[in-house]
Amino acid sequence: MGTSGIARWTLLLILGLLLQACSEPGGARKLQVGQKLPMLDVLDLQGRPVTFAPQPGKLLMINLWATWCAPCRHEMPSLQRLARKLGADRLTLVGLSVDDDEHVAREYLIENGIDFVSLRDPAYVMGGTGGVANGVFGVRVFPSTFFVAADGTLLRVIEGWRDWDSPEILEDVRALLPPRQAPVNNSGRAGGDRALKNATLIGF
């Protein structure tokens, strides 16, 4: 292979790596599989404080992303399709943006028809290093996706973009979903879905 061929393949390799994930300086991931996720203090897209945690009977899927990250933008439509295919009865999908400008993140989501729950990491708004991405998860690349059981246990971490509505990945996510629960009316012990949401997604 000539010099030009080697250069071309090197360029393609570099571009492939860039399309896979955006690096984030830092050390080892902080929250490890098997550990419990604490309640998370974040912001909504209007800058209001929100505290959220896993909901009983649901898998929590948290995708950390940014508009400046090309792989994040690349996978976002497939996340939207995954949310629609799997529904919300056993899955809560949350996009957590690390953009420092709420208007940029909000406009991107609107323009691309992304309607699952979207929040922001306050550390990136304040220009700090704590928050959720760094302080809780210790994210190494964007996008990073965390799967959390209903009891708060971290089940799996996926770094880099994925085609989330591919048959193989849909099957993997379905395998993490908790068993279906028998419906309970509002007069029962468990209460209705609205009360459950208000109890676990404070600020919505």
What is residue 109's predicted lDDT score, i.e. its pLDDT? 97
Name the token pair of 98.
């690390």
What band does 201 get if pLDDT is binned at 50, 70 and 90?
low
Query: pLDDT over 70 for what percent of the chain?
Result: 73
What does the pLDDT look like over 161-174, one tens digit per residue? 999 999 999 999 99
Given a cut of 50, whether residue 190 has pLDDT beyond it is no
Residue 84 CA neighbour count, 13 Å, CB half: 10
Instruction: Average the pLDDT over 66-95 and give the result.
Output: 97
- Do residues 70 and 169 lie in contact, with contact meaning Cβ atoms separated by under 8 Å? no
What is residue 204's predicted lDDT score, i.e. its pLDDT? 39
What is residue 143's predicted lDDT score, i.e. its pLDDT? 97
In the three-class reduction of DSSP (H, G, I as helix; E, B as strand; rest coil), residue 170 is classed as helix
What is residue 67's predicted lDDT score, i.e. its pLDDT? 96
What span, in angstroms and rounded, lies between the C-alpha atoms of 26 and 165?
30
Given a cut of 80, whether residue 184 has pLDDT beyond it is no
Name the token pair of 201.
């997604």
What band does 133 get if pLDDT is binned at 50, 70 and 90?
very high
Predicted model pTM:
0.80
Burial 81-113 (b: 16+ CB within 10 A, else e): ebbeebeeebbbbbbbbbbbebeebbebbeeee
Rounded to 5°, the CA angle 79-57-196 comes to 95
Domain ranges of the chain: 22-178
What span, in angstroms and rounded, lies between the C-alpha atoms of 180 and 162?
26
Cis peptide before 143 (omega within 30 of 0): yes
Residue found under tokens 């965390």: 146
What is residue 183's predicted lDDT score, i.e. its pLDDT? 64
Given a cut of 60, whether residue 118 has pLDDT beyond it is yes
What is residue 145's predicted lDDT score, i.e. its pLDDT? 98
Which architecture characterizes domain 22-178 according to CATH? 3-Layer(aba) Sandwich (3.40)
What does the pLDDT look like over 28-65, one tens digit per residue? 678 999 999 999 999 999 999 999 999 999 999 999 99
- Do residues 155 and 147 lie in contact, with contact meaning Cβ atoms separated by under 8 Å? yes
Name the token pair of 8.
């071309």
Find how far residue 28's CA is from the centre of its chain: 19
What is residue 9's predicted lDDT score, i.e. its pLDDT? 47
What is residue 195's predicted lDDT score, i.e. its pLDDT? 32
Count of C-beta atoms within a 10 Å radius of residue 14: 10
